[in-house]
Structure 1
Amino acid sequence: MSETYAKRLSAILLDAVTDKDPQMQEQVCGALCDFGESKPAEVLSACEEHLRLHEKLAHPYRTIILRAMEIVVSNHISELDKDMARAIILLASNEMTKVKELVSDWQQAASSVLVAVGRRFISSVMEELLSKFQPGLLPHPCTVHTLASLSVSNVFGVVPFLTSILSTMLPMLGAAKHDSMKVVFCCALQRFSESILEYLANLDQAPDPTVRKDAFASDIFGAYDILFHQWLQSGGAKLRLAVVEALGPMSHLLPSEKLEEQLPKLLPRVLAFYKKHTETVHVSKSLSQILEAAVSVGSRTLDIHLNSLLAALHAQICVPVESSSPLVMSNQKEVLRCFTVLACCSPDRLLAFLLPKLDTSNERTRVGTLQVLRHIINTAGEYLVERRWDRPTLSIFSMKRSILL
């Protein structure tokens, strides 16, 4: 197939995008993707040119073309040359930030194109995004969102940029006035923290094995201070939940003395969210991360709050639930993860809390307790059997352990 014919066929398909029938629009998108399997460069070039030359094309149609571009780029990233990559990056960046108001489908499609290109051309994508992420200016929310998405999709490529990104972002947090922008920053801080932790966990494969947690600690604590002491106090429900989600991975990056200092305030605030939100999986996930961070620094604060932690977590396990609900199943998984952490650091107090609950007349309490016991025996059994208990407690535990196993 000649290049001229491929270009003409692409143009015909692109003109058909404006068909009023949604099914036809989806078929056109699929046809562009299919054609892109055999002629990726030609299809991408035609899409880029079409969007660039038709500035007045309505955003629903632009979204369809961008979706097709993202699929073709993802499937053929190794065949993309530098010039085409640069053209696509500029186009997608412009599409994403063309209007100030949020037009989610259109802007998300453009963001996804940048993330797809960034899997190979990370330096070029970061150069473009950072040109729109300047000190003293509040960036477009989609720029922040895309930086966050890139940090997850290309950890090794983005983490080396994060020290400067976090330093630039910190003053922006104080300039954000609307909850919607604050939520974007929270999500970014969550993703950045997760990416840093993944990078540090895989230093043997990292391009720069000299990266250390300390390099991020100061800025992460500065952000934590704003999120916890300001946004969590005054924001709406969506923002408060976004803050709690971010605090989980951020807690691992706080200086150990700062984490220990904050835990007496942090743990009760997170536990309080169990009473305020029906979908608690995000609370449980954040709590498990905070507990892991606390244990990793040898925190003594957990002992003080252990009773309230156990009561809140046990209540989550014992709530009657629809087992088929993915959110409920995910929440139970995170709650059990919390119990594993506590079993490793306070096995005696954990069993002293759980074992008497097996004698209650409430069936849901017994079932929930057995579920926790089964889990901690499988995940932290060595911490349990090594403890020196009194003979009655030991015999009860041994009996229950044999039943559960």
Structure 2
Amino acid sequence: MAEEGSPSGEGGPCPISRLLQSPEAASQKEAVLRIVRAARSQPAAVMPALAVMLQRDKAPAWQKVAVYRSLRAMVEHGLQVEPACDFIVAASKQLRASPEPDAPRELQAAASNTLTTLARHHFNPIMTELQQQLRPFAEPDEFTLLTLGKIAAGNVYSCVPFLGITLTTLQTVMRCIEDSQRRKALCTALEQMCRAIRTYLRTWERSSYPRVSVQQFSAYLLPLYACITRTWLPGSDSQVKLAALKALGPMLSILLPRTEFQAQIYGDIELLLAEYESGINAFHVTKILGQILEASLVNSNPIPRTQVELLARTLTRQICSSGQKGQPPRQEHSEENRAEISQIFLRLARSHPSELLWVFQGKLEDVREEPRVVLLALLAEIVAAQLPELWSRRQLCVKALKAVLGDERTRVRLATLRTIENLLRTGYLEKVEGWPLNYIALQLSISAHQLTHPTLRLRLGGLEEKAVERASAEALQVAVASGRGASQELWVRMLGYVTQPHYAASATPLCRALRQLAEQRLRQVVHGQDGWEPVNSPTAQELMACLLVSAVGPWGPREVGVPLR
């Protein structure tokens, strides 16, 4: 036999099979190293022996896996694998072999990886062989699809002349594929091909072939996109759904710039939203939706107004479900999912600000706590972004917020204060007097009273109520810093806060706010703009005396201060 004269790793003649005596992983690794050393010293004897072993039907699968690994190692070490055609034919046959026990998946994966590695130096014969196995209107082999995808990813510019015929053939075979493994393999291959196309479109000048335009690639991909989105996504198992969503990302980046395709893609948003109920990782669905919304802004072609409410309602429910009792454990990427959903709401606020704010107002009228907390947090983020499209609709933001002012639940109060703070920072509230100041003062008073005279057991040991107290004090600081709060009413309130014992925990931010307010009032007096009427407030001497008594008084940590009479 051809292998009988092949050398060992130590220079002496011995069969290749003698190097492959144990299926143990450590033994296989050592055998691969010996075969590579033998091929380096006597390639004319080793290469034919390896080809014969791969062609033997009765050879154990683990030995063939070791041979394929040896071939890859040779290429990595710069050795010539010849005759390459023998190894290509053997590996291609292995890709098409029947499933276990004759062809375990590990062996088919090894053959696929070997072809991918050999394609660096033998691209045309390998691609020609694979194209012969990918026949129109015939169900393709799983590992043939996977190998095509990997070769495209590793040989971007060489594969371009073959992509047209490959994608056209895939259009004809998609409806023939019924089993999940092949569907998953085709989606994986498409993902890699689309990434290769994206790379080519960015750097096409490096290719030696005639240029292929994005319009040509889009025409090939649109039928594949339609089949995946409308047929495979709704009716496949979770693994196929996940592979399909991963393929849609790079595919949409090629399709979305084409204005003639955007209406069709926008029409599939409802199908994508339905996948949130399928049990797959929600982050992958959210990424696709975010990609579509981002493209709609870049292309100045927003999604239809009729889809805003459905999007907002579904995405809000996604955030709410992670924090509700009785829900399954938080999924992987849940924080990334929450962040991506926030970005989608920002994009909706830019494209359809009025529609989104009307949706917010309607949802905030819902008395359930979790939706209110989530929507208030989203509203605060949108306001903080200071979007130009939102400035003329700022009163809609205020109107939506007013729907929750009567909610006494701690988390809602905290979220409301954070939203008011952002409204003040961005100038969406033109004045502090009236309901904003009254609400902030009320929450500060409630929190201070509950923390110093608890009549009921506070949640989380009072941590939430302390957060409300801090948020109230910070909102007062922002109100003063905005320059729209230097009023007589606010001055009286601030003087009262810093001298009351139950406001001691917020003394630092309150004193800072009072100092800013005093400086503002002083500037107004200097410029002759002080039109305030006298009020019943303490004199400077009385205030100093109260503060000195507060500093040395024998009170507990929350009872620092004396009331003014």
Structure 2 match to 1:15: 18
The within-5 A match list for 1:210-221 is 210-221=211-222
For the Cα contact (< 8 Å) 1:167–1:219, is it kept in 2? Answer: yes
1:88 aligns to 2:64 (yes or no)? no
Go from structure 1 to structure 2 and tell me whether the alpha carbon gap of 1:94 and 1:386 turns closer, same or farther (over 3 Å shift): same
1:26 aligns to 2:30 (yes or no)? no
1:133 aligns to 2:141 (yes or no)? no
Structure 1 match to 2:349: 346
The within-5 A match list for 1:78-227 is 79-81=78-80, 83-99=82-98, 103-208=104-209, 210-227=211-228
Displacement, 1:200? Answer: 1.5
**SS of 2:300 mapped into structure 1:** coil
For the Cα contact (< 8 Å) 1:232–1:239, is it kept in 2? Answer: yes
The structure 1 residue matched to 2:278, chosen from 276, 279, 286, is 276
Distance 1:227 1:363 in 2: 35
Distance 1:147 1:162 in 2: 10
For the Cα contact (< 8 Å) 1:89–1:114, is it kept in 2? Answer: yes
**SS of 1:229 mapped into structure 2:** helix
Displacement, 1:143? Answer: 0.8
Structure 2 match to 1:67: 69
Larger of the two Rg values belongs to structure: 2
Displacement, 1:4? Answer: 4.3
Structure 2 match to 1:336: 339
Q: Which amino acid aligns with 2:282?
A: T
Structure 2 match to 1:306: 308
**SS of 1:57 mapped into structure 2:** coil
Q: Which amino acid aligns with 2:259?
A: S
Go from structure 1 to structure 2 and tell me whether the alpha carbon gap of 1:366 and 1:233 turns closer, same or farther (over 3 Å shift): closer
**SS of 2:158 mapped into structure 1:** helix
Superposed CA deviations along residues 327-382 of structure 1, whole A, max 9, x for unmatched, are 723x543553454355356345699588998xx996898689869977998xxx6x
Distance 1:113 1:376 in 2: 55
Displacement, 1:104? Answer: 1.6
Distance 1:67 1:308 in 2: 52
Structure 2 match to 1:259: 262
Go from structure 1 to structure 2 and tell me whether the alpha carbon gap of 1:124 and 1:362 turns closer, same or farther (over 3 Å shift): farther
For the Cα contact (< 8 Å) 2:72–2:117, is it kept in 1? Answer: yes
Distance 2:374 2:288 in 1: 25
Go from structure 1 to structure 2 and tell me whether the alpha carbon gap of 1:295 and 1:116 turns closer, same or farther (over 3 Å shift): farther
For the Cα contact (< 8 Å) 2:47–2:81, is it kept in 1? Answer: no
Displacement, 1:204? Answer: 4.6
After superposition, the CA RMSD in angstroms is 4.3
The within-5 A match list for 1:354-373 is none
Displacement, 1:159? Answer: 3.2
Higher mean C-alpha displacement, 236-245 vs 105-114: 236-245
Q: Which amino acid aligns with 1:57?
A: A
Structure 2 match to 1:230: 231
- Report percent identity of matched pairs: 20
Which of structures 1 and 2 has the larger relative contact order (alpha carbons within 8 angstroms, sep 6+)? Answer: 1
Which structure has the highest helix share of the two?
1
Go from structure 1 to structure 2 and tell me whether the alpha carbon gap of 1:235 and 1:5 turns closer, same or farther (over 3 Å shift): closer
Structure 1: gaps spanning 5 or more residues: none
Distance 1:28 1:326 in 2: 43
Q: Which amino acid aligns with 2:120?
A: R
For the Cα contact (< 8 Å) 1:30–1:68, is it kept in 2? Answer: no
Q: Which amino acid aligns with 1:31?
A: E
Go from structure 1 to structure 2 and tell me whether the alpha carbon gap of 1:286 and 1:26 turns closer, same or farther (over 3 Å shift): same
For the Cα contact (< 8 Å) 2:7–2:14, is it kept in 1? Answer: no
Structure 2 match to 1:397: 422
Distance 1:13 1:241 in 2: 43
Higher mean C-alpha displacement, 80-89 vs 118-127: 80-89
For the Cα contact (< 8 Å) 1:244–1:286, is it kept in 2? Answer: yes
Q: Which amino acid aligns with 1:113?
A: T
